[in-house]
Amino acid sequence: MLRKLWQVLFKRRQRRQSSGQVRTGSAEKRISSELPVNRERIKAAFGNSADLVLQDLETGAQGKVSALVVHIDGLCDKRLVAEVVIRQIADTEHEWNSAKQAYMDLKDRLLSGSAVKEVDSLDSFVASVSDGKCGVLVDGVTRGLVCDTRGWAQRSIDEPTTEVTVRGSKEGFVETLRTNTSLLRRRIASSRLWIEEMKIGRISRTSVAIVYISGVADEKLVQEVRNRLERIDVSAVYESGHLEEHIEDAPFSPFPTILRTERPDKVTGALLEGRVAILTDGTPFALIVPATFTMFLTAPEDYYERYFIGSALRILRLASFFISLTLPALYVAVTTFHQEMLPTPLVLSVAAQREGIPFPAVVEAVLMELIFEVLREAGVRLPRVVGPAVSIIGGLVIGDAAIRAGLASPAMVLVVAFTGIASFATPVFSLAIGVRLLRFPMIALAGALGLFGVVAGMAAILAHLTALRSFGVPFLEPLAPVVLSDLKDALLRAPWWALDTRPRFTGKARPVS
Amino acid sequence: MSVDRALIISALVIFVMMATTITGCWSRREIDTIGFLMAIGVDEAQEKGKIQLTVHVAKPFAIGGGAEAKGTTEEKPFWVVSSTGHTVFEAMRNLVSQSPRRPFLAHSRFILIGEELARRGIGDVIDWFQRDGEMRRRAWIVVAKGAKASDLLQVEFELEPMPSEGGMGIVMATRTELSTTITDCTLHCFLQQLEGEGADPVATRAEIILRPQEFDIRGELRREKVGASARITGAAVFKDDKLVGWLNKPETRGFNWIMGQVRSGIIVIKKPGEEDRFIGLEILRARGRFRPEFKDGRVSVTVGIEAEANVGDVQGFIDPLRFPEIWDSMERRMATVIKNEVMAAVAKAQELGSDIFGFGAELNRRDPEKWAEIKDRWDDEFPRVGVHVEVKAKLRRSGLVIRSTRIKR
């Protein structure tokens, strides 16, 4: 319904369907046999950018053959370019009869230390150079060579900051796609780990990798991921969240249907279950599809600690999920509609606390929730030096002062604080933030209709969750529809030796091979 | 802009406007606008034919549940106020003219009934308590012996600032771990007994005890704030909806033995061999059941009681290991005490002509045809019912020691 409303209100601009490839112009530029012509064309293509490096070299015994080496400063490993490319070309004492022969020699022998490739058109030559490769053109040859000399400054592999674990691998993804795939390959040393790479973004040409285990992941699922990614037509991809919004099943839902993680071990586990991971260059966050509700309440430790500890922690997280969604609403409902539900001493104590507070409980709840949300938001982006100051103001001054000023009751501060803490027990931020937003309509419902409103809100949320799908898999699977064998790893975690089947959606239940 | 779009936008605007303006209060009531009634007392009003309602309202601000207690300690955390009306409901509504906060009944612990009104019959006042949606059927029915309910509502307990809580504390302790000398008597079971065929209701008895306002302990002048307190024990016996008499403590426990409601308590027996010394036994667990039967055109009831007890304290010297026969005689005496209590309860009930045990109702369940014959003359029949009591008493443990300390003479 919301979607229809949206469509009516904001008529979607008709997008031109395009394959997402660089538009292959009707007359693809060919490489000229004249080196100076090529040189000018390349310069023109880059608009004479400052970081473009063009080097003219003479090669062969008498320097008979001239060559052009092109790379972009900062994207290439300088030492590699010097040793593997420039020295090989410039220092050779080969006797070559023709430029063609020199070219073939360079390709097959001299430059072969750097994964050399041949390109036919100037366009793909330029594209390779902008990708960080080092291009070599030989005078009189209408083909070019590109050597893989990529190497740039990158962040070292670090502990993931958003998904900290007590026990387990401390490695996290980095911003470089190739490093990330290597992290996965190191964990799954099998030729069946397949990595398909594609470029998305007309201008940015961002590398995106679809990673799956052949024979485990359903081929139809992989095809669906491929299709959805190929349909994306944007000028640039900034982050995997950008892709996520383009390919998710329910863009209007407050619940995420794609799991994001910066932990290679989490991705490894998902791959082995038959899921597909999408890695994006330039971000440490990988996407995992299909994602189900229980995955969002799962932390890697569940699997590393012993199984009953893992199970207990999951139940705790589920409880805090419900607390963060409903506790303020329940408090408002009970104190303004159902005073008979509280034990007598408690109701008198709550009444005593609310004595003299000018707002109705629902306004008090919304007010305190807002203050909390602002504090949290400010805290996330706080420069380290002012951090303590804000937490003092926030925690002590506002909490205590609100009570002293008679704006809020201590019980409400407790409820809001506990709710806030409970929302941080959800391991995946994207789910937690959705729940935090839903809390406000729940409070409003509770303030208007009491417990009836809370129940109605919960029913609506449940109905919505049941209707959600993530890449064809029901979002609440294995809870609804019930999949008995998958319940082993849903709200509880069975011992490892009992986890011998893959999730149902892979279509390959047993054995795990 | 298409018509479609305009329609939806205007509908949205109207919806938002309605949502923000017509949200009435409905049944919403902020917790600080409610006066929590903790106990409700019903009496006959001085004005003929009217009912006087006295309620005990909690003052949360004087309890100080929050960070700081706002009220001074001298301020009483409750307010007693009364109003009159032709019916309880009217009196309750008349109360609103005196109370700035809307009376809220769900937390009422007690329904107190003055003796005068109870003797006249409470059938007319009890109706509202079961009809009103806020009232709980878990409230205890208490009859004020020799007093008006409004006087009973003035009492205070030293350890609990809120008299209703204090009363509840006494009720709960008395009915379970300490002595079982009151009966389980909530509005719910009172109504059941009232309606049930061949059964009459009982209620809890409370008396006002006056205490000196000030007294002196060893020269130290101490202010005793509590002027009047209450003793909650025993039971009020009703015949239909009219109070006809009282059960004292042993009689009440006798009643509880028959009903199988004894949970704990102390049985005092005379020490075998030394009749001026006593032994206190603590009841561990007890079972009680009764079976009415027709025998030769008469109704007789067999009451079976099994009780276990520990030895709590002994005056004088016993050594059950060397003289085991004392154990048996203690058990026999315990059985006798229980039997005496039961017989006392039966005798009192038969004297008052009120079948508080529900012998008739049990008869009805066992033999409905015979009951149909006897039903109409049950009131005459009940006082003549022969009751036979069988008690199995068992002593279990003797505390931390078996033998008493032998005191050198």
- The 3 state secondary structure assigned to A5-16 is HHHHHCCCCCCC
In a domain, B237, yes or no: yes
In this complex, the residue of B70, B106, B136 whose CB is nearest that of residue A339 is B106
Is the minimum CB–CB distance between A335 and chain B shorter than 8 Å?
A: yes
Say if residue A346 is in the same domain as residue A454: yes
Digit-coded pLDDT (tens) for B38-56: 999 999 998 888 999 999 9
Digit-coded pLDDT (tens) for B7-39: 888 888 887 777 665 554 457 788 888 899 999
In a domain, B260, yes or no: yes
Q: Under DSSP, is residue B362 helix (H, G, I), strand (E, B) or coil?
A: helix
What DSSP letter does each residue of B263-312 carry, written as one string? ---EEEEEETTEEEEEEEEEEEEEEEEEEEEEETTEEEEEEEEEEEEEEE
Could you give the percent of chain B with pLDDT greater than 70? 90
Say if residue A463 is in the same domain as residue A371: yes
Could you tell me if A98 and A63 are in contact, meaning their C-beta atoms sit under 8 angstroms apart? no
Say if residue B319 is in the same domain as residue B193: no
The last residue of a domain, from among A432, A448, A470: A470
Distance from C-alpha of B162 to C-alpha of B168, rounded to nearest angstrom = 10
**Residues on chain B touching A2 (C-beta within 8 angstroms):** none
Mean pLDDT across A478-499: 89
Beta carbons within 8 Å of B267's beta carbon, 6+ residues apart: B280, B281, B282, B283, B309, B334, B337, B338
Domain count, chain A: 3
* Closest residue on chain A to B2 (Cα): A8
Say if residue B343 is in the same domain as residue B385: yes
Mean pLDDT across B109-135: 91
* Closest residue on chain B to A344 (Cα): B107
Is the minimum CB–CB distance between B4 and chain A shorter than 8 Å?
A: yes
* Closest residue on chain A to B29 (Cα): A336
Say if residue B166 is in the same domain as residue B32: yes
Say if residue B186 is in the same domain as residue B212: yes
Say if residue A285 is in the same domain as residue A309: no
Domain count, chain B: 2
Mean pLDDT across A404-429: 89
**Residues on chain B touching A403 (C-beta within 8 angstroms):** 66-67
Is the minimum CB–CB distance between A4 and chain B shorter than 8 Å?
A: no
Measured from the Cβ of residue B125, the count of other Cβ atoms closer than 10 Å reads: 23
Helices A35-45 and A122-130, axial angle in degrees (round to 10): 50
Say if residue B86 is in the same domain as residue B134: yes
Domain that holds residue B223: 28-247
Prediction ipTM score: 0.79
**Residues on chain B touching A409 (C-beta within 8 angstroms):** 66
Is the minimum CB–CB distance between B106 and chain A shorter than 8 Å?
A: yes
Of B159, B154, B187, nearest to B173 (Cα)? B159
Take residue B50 and report the two structure tokens written for it: 């009217």
Cα of A403 to nearest chain B Cα, Å? 9
Say if residue B268 is in the same domain as residue B327: yes
**Residues on chain A touching B134 (C-beta within 8 angstroms):** 340
What DSSP letter does each residue of A386-424 carry, written as one string? GHHHHHIIIIIIIHHHHHHTTSS-HHHHHHHHHHHHHHT
Is the minimum CB–CB distance between A336 and chain B shorter than 8 Å?
A: yes
Is the minimum CB–CB distance between B222 and chain A shorter than 8 Å?
A: no
In a domain, A155, yes or no: no
What DSSP letter does each residue of B21-41 carry, written as one string? H----TT---GGGEEEEEEEE
Could you tell me if A114 and A85 are in contact, meaning their C-beta atoms sit under 8 angstroms apart? yes
Strands B202-210 and B102-104: unpaired
> Are residues A348 and B63, on separate chains, in Cβ contact within 8 Å?
yes
Which band of pLDDT confidence, cut at 50, 70 and 90, is reported for residue B215? low
Measured from the Cβ of residue A501, the count of other Cβ atoms closer than 10 Å reads: 17
Of A205, A278, A280, A210, nearest to A236 (Cα)? A205
Local structure of residue B137 (DSSP, 8 states): T
Say if residue A320 is in the same domain as residue A429: yes
Could you tell me if A423 and A365 are in contact, meaning their C-beta atoms sit under 8 angstroms apart? no
Say if residue B177 is in the same domain as residue B278: no
Say if residue B74 is in the same domain as residue B154: yes
Is the minimum CB–CB distance between A282 and chain B shorter than 8 Å?
A: no
Mean pLDDT across A184-204: 93
In this complex, the residue of A339, A360, A410 whose CB is nearest that of residue B104 is A339
Local structure of residue B108 (DSSP, 8 states): -
Distance from C-alpha of B156 to C-alpha of A234, rounded to nearest angstrom = 78
* Closest residue on chain B to A353 (Cα): B66
Say if residue B226 is in the same domain as residue B304: no
Could you give the percent of chain A with pLDDT greater than 70? 93
Mean pLDDT across A47-68: 84
Is the model's pLDDT at A223 over the cut of 90?
Answer: yes
Digit-coded pLDDT (tens) for B147-157: 999 989 888 88
Say if residue B273 is in the same domain as residue B359: yes
Local structure of residue B167 (DSSP, 8 states): H
Burial per residue of B177-206, b for 16 or more beta-carbon CB atoms within 10 angstroms, e otherwise? eebbbbbbbbbebbbebbebebbbbbbbbb
Distance from C-alpha of A299 to C-alpha of A261, rounded to nearest angstrom = 11
* Closest residue on chain B to A7 (Cα): B5
Which band of pLDDT confidence, cut at 50, 70 and 90, is reported for residue A387? confident
In this complex, the residue of A8, A337, A351 whose CB is nearest that of residue B60 is A351
Is the model's pLDDT at B74 over the cut of 80?
Answer: no
Say if residue B274 is in the same domain as residue B224: no
Domain that holds residue A92: 35-147
Mean pLDDT across B390-408: 90
